[in-house]
Structure 1
Amino acid sequence: MSENTPTGILVMAYGTPETIADVEPYYTHIRGGRKPSPEQLADLIERYRRVGGQTPLYHLTLAVAEQLQARLERDHPGAYRVYLAMKHWHPYIGEVLPQIAADGIEDVVGVVLAPHYSRYSLEGYRTYAEQAITKLERPIRFHFVEHWHDHPLFRALITDRIREALRAFPPEAQGQVTVLFSAHSLPEKIMRMDDPYADQLRESAAAIARLVGLDDHRFCFQSAAPTPEPWLGPDIVDYLQTLHDQGSRSVLIVPVGFWSDPSEALWDIDTEAQAKAHELGITLRRIRMPNADPEFVELIQAVALDQVQQLP
C-alpha cells in the first residue's frame, strides 16, 4: 500500500429497481440471465406498486457512502476514497472497478452492507469484483470483508433500537413483548455445505438478546423465493401463528439480517406479516432500521478501517 495513494473503500449493496419498468431486468440479473415467468413478474410488480414503486435502498446506500467519505476525509484527509457499487443493479460492481483503477487506486477494501456471511449470497459480491479486476489493464489488490455481525458497534446499535422499540409498546404490554429476530432465508442446501450463515445469525440474535437483557427471544426467516427446493425456516408469517398459539399478543420484529428498509422489510414484514398479525389479534412492530443514520456510518467506518489495519 503506497503512502501517497489513497486506499479505496468500496461500499456494496444488493441493488434495487428504480422504476416499475426496471423490475424485469433487475430480477433477470438476480436469476443469472433467466427472465421471471409472466406470473412471477406480475407478482413482483404488484409488490413494488404496493410499497410505492421502489425501495429507498439505492438512496440510503448512497447516503452511507457520502457520509463515510466525509467522515474519513475529516479524520484522515486525503487517505481514502469511497466508491459505491451494487450487486444486481446500477452502478454494477463490474462498472465501478474500472473507475477505481482509472483513479490510480492500488488497494481497495470491499464492504458489503450485510452483516452475515454466506457463500450463497455474499460470496457473489467478491466474485463479481474479482471477475472485473481480471479484466483491468492496471491491477488492483482487493480486500474483502466477509462479515461484521460480531462487531461491538453493530450489536450495540441493534440493542439500542430494540430498547427504543420496546419502550414504544403500551404500558399493559411492557414485559410481555416477544422479540422475534429475522433474516433473509436461503436454500436449505447451504446447511450441507457447512455454510456459516445460520450459525452467525443465531449467534447475533443470542448476543444482542443478552445485551438487551431478554430472558427469551425467538428466531425466524423470511423472504424465501418460490422455488421447488426447500428454504430455511420457520417462515415469519407461519411463525406468527405459532407465537399466537403460545399466547403471544405483542411481537417486536428485529430484522437482524438487514440494515435498511428494503422490499423484504416493506413487503414481507410491513405488509404480509402485519396482515397476519392483524388477523391473529397480535400487535406487531419492528425496530427502526439503521439505514443511513450516523451510528451506522460510524460502524461501517470502523469495519473498513479494521480491514485497512490488516493490509500489508
Structure 2
Amino acid sequence: MPTGMQVTRLLSTSALPVSGQAKKAKTGILLLNMGGPQKTDQVHDYLLRIMTDRDMIQLPVQSRLGPYIAKRRTPDVQKKYEEIGGGSPILKWTKRQGELLCHKLDQLSPETGPHKYYIAFRYVSPFTEDAISEIEKDGVEKVVIFSQYPQYSCATTGSSLNAIYSYMKNKTRDTNVKWSLIDRWPTHPLLAKTIADRITTELKQFPKEKQKDVMLLFSAHSLPLRAVKRGDPYPSEVGATVQLVMQELGFCNPYSLVWQSKVGPLPWLEPYTEDAIKGYVKQGKKNFILVPVAFVNEHIETLHEMDIEYCQDLGKEVGVECMRRAAAPNDHPLFISALADIVTSHMKSDQKINPKFLTRCPHCVNNKCHLSKTWFAELCT
C-alpha cells in the first residue's frame, strides 16, 4: 500500500500517450481481460466461446446447449452493440491503459525497463496464444501476468489463467524467463480513490439540496449461486472494494451493492440491479448513481445495460427524478497510478504468486483448476 509520499510521486509522473512500444522490452506486462467484439459479425463466435467455457458457465450437455444459446442470443446482442456504436471499446481502453502503464513504469522502475504490454483476451482477438507467442518472439526477460479484473473469480481471472496453462503446459519453455502473477487487487487505495472521484463527479450534477440523498448503487456482474457455494471469493472481494470506496467518500451517501448481467435460468447472486432500483423507488428514493465497481473500462455492461436499459429505459418506467452512471476507471490518472503502483510493488516483492490463488475453493471439483494452480506454482518460482 503506497504511503502519502509514494502517492505524490506516482501522481507527479505525467501519464502521456506514447507513439509506440519499445522494440526490445526487458519486462512484459501481460494484461488479462474478457475482451469484447469490435464488430457485430464477431458477436456469435464471442458468445460461443463464452457459452462453451466451463470455467465461465456450467450448462447441462454444454457441447450442445452452449452453441444453441449462443446462436439464439446473437441477433439480440448484435443489436445492443449497434446501439453503442457497433462494437466494444474494451480493446481501445486496454491499449490506452497498457500504453500509459508502461510509460509510467519506465519512469518509476527504469531498472526493469523497457516495459511492453501484451493483451490476452479470453473470448475475442487478441487471444491468449497470440499474446504469449508475441512475448516469446520478443525475448523478454521477465513477464508479469496482470489480471485486469480487480476482484478474483474462477469464472474470470481463473478462466484466463487456465487458458494460459492449457496453451503453455506442453510447450518447451525458456527457463531463463522469469514469470510472476498479479491475480487480484480489490483493496488498492488508488483504485478506491479512482472510483470515489468518479462518484463525486456525478454527485455534482445533482442539485445541492438533493446530493446527500442520492442512492449509490455499486453494480457488479453477478455470479451463479453454485459458484458462491463452492467458495468463489468474488462476492467478498467486490464487497471489500465497495467498503473502501465508501470509506474514501466518508460514507457520505446511502449505498448498496447490487448485481447485474444474469444469464440463464439458474439462481444467481441477488439483489439484481433492476430489482434494487424498483425496490428503492418504492421506498421513496428518487435519485441514483450507478457505479461500475468491478469493470475497469467501458463495455456493453456499462454502455448498454447501465446507461440504456437502467438509466434511460428503467428510470423512465419507474419514475425516478435522475439516475446517472459513474464512468469506469478507463484512463483516469489515479487509476493509471494504481496500475503502476501494483506492478512496481509486485516486482519489488519476494512474493511472485499469491498463496490465496494457490488455494482452491473448499468445494472445488474442477481437476483442471488443481493442475493449473500446481503448474503456476512451478512457473512463478
TM-score interval (norm. to shorter): over 0.9
1:276 aligns with 2:314: yes
Q: Which residue of 2 aligns with 1:119?
A: 154
- Alpha-carbon separation, structure 2, partners of 1:131 and 1:257: 26
Shift of residue 202 of structure 1?
Answer: 1.3
Is the alpha carbon distance of 1:105 and 1:142 closer, same or farther for their aligned partners in structure 2, counting shifts above 3 Å?
Answer: same
Q: Which residue of 1 aligns with 2:243?
A: 206
Q: Which amino acid aligns with 1:150?
A: T
Report the TM-score, using the length of structure 1 for normalisation: 0.92
* Contact 1:101-1:138 within 8 A present in 2 as well: no
Deviates more, 1:99-108 or 1:272-281: 99-108
Is the alpha carbon distance of 1:273 and 1:96 closer, same or farther for their aligned partners in structure 2, counting shifts above 3 Å?
Answer: same
- Alpha-carbon separation, structure 2, partners of 1:251 and 1:186: 23
Q: Which residue of 1 aligns with 2:29?
A: 9
Out of 193, 218, 222, the position equivalent to 1:156 is 193
1:134 aligns with 2:166: no
- Alpha-carbon separation, structure 2, partners of 1:9 and 1:52: 29
Matches within 5 A, 1:113-262: 113-139=148-174, 140-214=177-251, 216-225=254-263, 227-262=264-299
Shift of residue 79 of structure 1?
Answer: 4.3
Q: Which amino acid aligns with 2:153?
A: S
Is the alpha carbon distance of 1:37 and 1:64 closer, same or farther for their aligned partners in structure 2, counting shifts above 3 Å?
Answer: closer
* Contact 1:184-1:224 within 8 A present in 2 as well: yes
Shift of residue 27 of structure 1?
Answer: 1.0
**SS of residue in 1 equivalent to 2:212:** coil
Q: Which amino acid aligns with 2:120?
A: A
Report the TM-score, using the length of structure 2 for normalisation: 0.76
Is the alpha carbon distance of 1:100 and 1:38 closer, same or farther for their aligned partners in structure 2, counting shifts above 3 Å?
Answer: closer
Shift of residue 52 of structure 1?
Answer: 1.7
- Alpha-carbon separation, structure 2, partners of 1:14 and 1:76: 28
Out of 2, 10, 20, the position equivalent to 2:40 is 20
Deviates more, 1:254-263 or 1:131-140: 131-140
Q: Which amino acid aligns with 1:285?
A: R
**SS of residue in 1 equivalent to 2:97:** helix
- Alpha-carbon separation, structure 2, partners of 1:203 and 1:294: 22
Q: Which amino acid aligns with 2:116?
A: R
1:292 aligns with 2:327: no
**SS of residue in 2 equivalent to 1:175:** helix
* Contact 1:101-1:136 within 8 A present in 2 as well: no
* Contact 1:98-1:136 within 8 A present in 2 as well: no
Out of 79, 96, 103, the position equivalent to 1:70 is 103
- Alpha-carbon separation, structure 2, partners of 1:128 and 1:38: 23
Deviates more, 1:45-54 or 1:57-66: 45-54
Shift of residue 178 of structure 1?
Answer: 0.7
Matches within 5 A, 1:39-78: 39-77=72-110, 78=113
Q: Identify unmatched segments of 5+ residues in structure 1.
A: none
1:307 aligns with 2:346: yes
**SS of residue in 1 equivalent to 2:213:** coil
- Alpha-carbon separation, structure 2, partners of 1:241 and 1:128: 39
- Alpha-carbon separation, structure 2, partners of 1:118 and 1:143: 19
* Contact 1:259-1:291 within 8 A present in 2 as well: yes
How far does the alpha carbon of each residue in 1:143-172 deviate from its partner, in whole angstroms, 9 at most, with x for none? Answer: 221211111111111112212211111234
Q: Which residue of 1 aligns with 2:9?
A: none
* Contact 1:94-1:132 within 8 A present in 2 as well: yes
Q: Percent identity?
A: 28
Is the alpha carbon distance of 1:37 and 1:299 closer, same or farther for their aligned partners in structure 2, counting shifts above 3 Å?
Answer: closer
* Aligned-residue RMSD, C-alpha: 1.9
Shift of residue 6 of structure 1?
Answer: 1.8
Deviates more, 1:10-19 or 1:210-219: 210-219
* Contact 1:126-1:144 within 8 A present in 2 as well: no
